[in-house]
Amino acid sequence: MKFAYKLGLLLAMVLAQICGEAIAQGYPNRPIRFMVGYPPGGSNDILARIVSAKLGERLGQAVVVENKPGADSMIAGEYVAKSAPDGYTLLVTSIGGMVFNPVLYERALYDPLKDFVSITLIATDPLVFAVNPSIKASSIKDIIELAKGSPGKLFYGSGSPPMHVAAELFKKQVGVNIVHVPYKGTAASLAAAVAGEISLVVSTVGPALAQLRAGKLRPLAVTSLARDPLLPEIPTVTESGLDFEIIAWTGIFAPAGTPSAIIDRIYSDLSIVLKSDSVKERIASLGYDTSAMGMPPPEFASFLRASIGKWAKVTRDLNIRAK
């Protein structure tokens, strides 16, 4: 009986591999969708559109970006998690969607480790603390002094969970009371800061570059350990007396159960696209770090697991929960 059971199991595994390889040989034979959980104009959307155009050229099939915002990007995540695991519906999402949502929400709409297969990382990006030019602050020290002088009267905006957590870490470490105003995406929070609706905004560097360079926002510090090459004159939060690092990232995921042969095919073409000079230069010009782009699926899966463990502890210590 034991021999028959083991033989049956082995045959099932062999058949599954053969079927997966057969499916992959004909893949893709129709358009592929990149689902993005944020409105147009944000980090994930911008990167998805850059990659989709070149990937479509290589595959000979259209790769269409669809925005499905809502619930801090969880609507799109749930949609992809429940989609057929055939390689035609993929999720382009961030550290917010895959790391912070599951640890912040008591009832997250998906489990990033059980419901998805990690494919690759597109790019990373530190966060930047910035203020409207009307705010009399040119450094983290200045904003701390303003906040301590007017507790509860300054407002900060964030467009996704990583920005929220970064600001709450800042508040806890320096002991200030700045009121949180959540926005539906980075673009909306930046627009609010430019309009003077909020005093402080925490954003990824890439989407904020245009406003920073135009003088519509004043940068105070970045959240990487080293200064950002595109903002070399701006100190890090560590240089500013704080003790944390947050690096945002964007990656691509498939529904759990997608045949490994299809994952391998997608990754093979994606890695070529991401390593091309035109794509790397385009993404880097927008303020993103491309040094980790094209991370292999097993490495990316380990990276995701470690990130979830790290930030679950931090958010518990901060007692941050999303509603």
Same domain (yes/no): 286, 209: no
pLDDT for 107 beyond 60? yes
Question: Could you tell me if residue 234 is inside a domain?
Answer: no
242 found inside a domain:
no
**Among 139-143, 226-230, 258-262, which is the least confidently predicted range?**
226-230
What's the CA gap between 283 and 286, in Å, rounded?
A: 5
Between helices 205-213 and 43-59, what is the axis angle to 10°?
110
**pLDDT tier at 12 (50, 70, 90 boundaries)?**
very low
**175: alpha, beta or left, given left = phi > 0 and alpha = psi -120 to 50?**
left
Tell whether 51 and 104 lie within a shared domain.
yes
Span 158-182, average pLDDT = 94
- Which range has the worst mean pLDDT, 60-69, 181-190, 252-261, 299-308? 181-190
Asked if 258 and 118 sit in the same domain, the reply is yes
Residues 145 and 280 placed together within one structural domain of the fold: no
pLDDT digits (tens, 9 = 90+) for 20-74: 555 567 899 999 999 999 888 778 999 999 999 999 999 999 999 999 998 889 9
Domain-embedded: residue 237: no
Calculate the average pLDDT of the chain.
Answer: 91
Nearest residue to 132 (alpha-carbon basis) of 213, 190, 209: 190
Bigger pLDDT: 92 or 40? 92
The domain boundary, picked from 206, 222, 238, lies at 222
What is the distance between the terminal CA atoms of the chain, rounded to a whole angstrom? 52
Cis peptide before 28 (omega within 30 of 0): yes
- Tokens coding 306: 């470690």
Residue 241 is assigned to a structural domain of this protein: no
Mention every residue, 6+ apart, whose C-beta is less than 8 A from residue 1.
Answer: none
* pLDDT cut 70: percent of the chain above it: 92
Query: DSSP letter at 223?
Result: S
- Residue range 199-212: mean pLDDT, rounded: 94
- Residue 257 sits in the same domain as residue 301: yes
pLDDT confidence of 314, banded at 50, 70, 90? Answer: very high
Indicate if 252 and 120 belong to the same structural domain.
yes
297 vs 108, which has greater pLDDT? 297
- Are residues 142 and 53 part of one domain? no
Output the pLDDT for position 91.
99
* Paired residues of 126 in beta bridges: 247
Give the helix ranges, DSSP H, for the chain: 2-25, 43-59, 74-81, 95, 101-104, 140-149, 161-174, 186-194, 205-213, 260-275, 277-285, 297-318
Domain boundary among 222, 257, 276: 222
b/e map of 224-255 (b: 16 or more CB within 10 Å)? beebbebbeebbbbbebebeebbbbbbbbbbb
Alpha-carbon distances, residue 161 vs 99, 208, 322 (angstroms): 9, 17, 9
Question: Looking at the structure, do residues 281 and 299 belong to the same domain, yes or no?
Answer: yes
227 occurs within a structural domain: no
Query: 120 with 144, same domain?
Result: no
Residue where one domain finishes, among candidates 204, 222, 240: 222
Q: Model-level pTM? A: 0.85
CATH number at residue 179: 3.40.190.10
75, part of any domain? yes
Distance CA 215, CA 234 (A): 14
Residues 26, 71, single domain; the answer is yes
pLDDT tens-digit readout, 242-291 = 999 999 999 999 999 999 999 999 999 999 999 999 999 999 988 899 98
DSSP labels, 2-41: HHHHHHHHHHHHHHHHHHHHHHHHT--SS-EEEEESS-TT
Instruction: Identify the pLDDT of residue 13.
Output: 46
Residues 13 and 107 both lie in one domain: yes
- The CATH number given to whatever domain includes residue 58 is 3.40.190.150
Distance of alpha carbon 227 from alpha carbon 236, whole angstroms: 6
**Domain-embedded: residue 190:** yes
Question: By C-alpha distance, which of 318, 160, 314 is closest to 245?
Answer: 314
Residue 66 lies in a domain: yes
**What does the pLDDT read at residue 274?**
96
- The pLDDT score that the predictor gives to residue 278 is 94
Q: How many domains does the chain have?
A: 2
Quickly count: other Cβ atoms within 10 Å of residue 274's Cβ: 24
Name the pLDDT band for 2 (thresholds 50, 70, 90).
low
Range of the domain at 111: 2-124+248-318
Q: Confirm if 245 and 222 have CB atoms less than 8 A apart.
A: no
Same domain, 143 and 217: yes
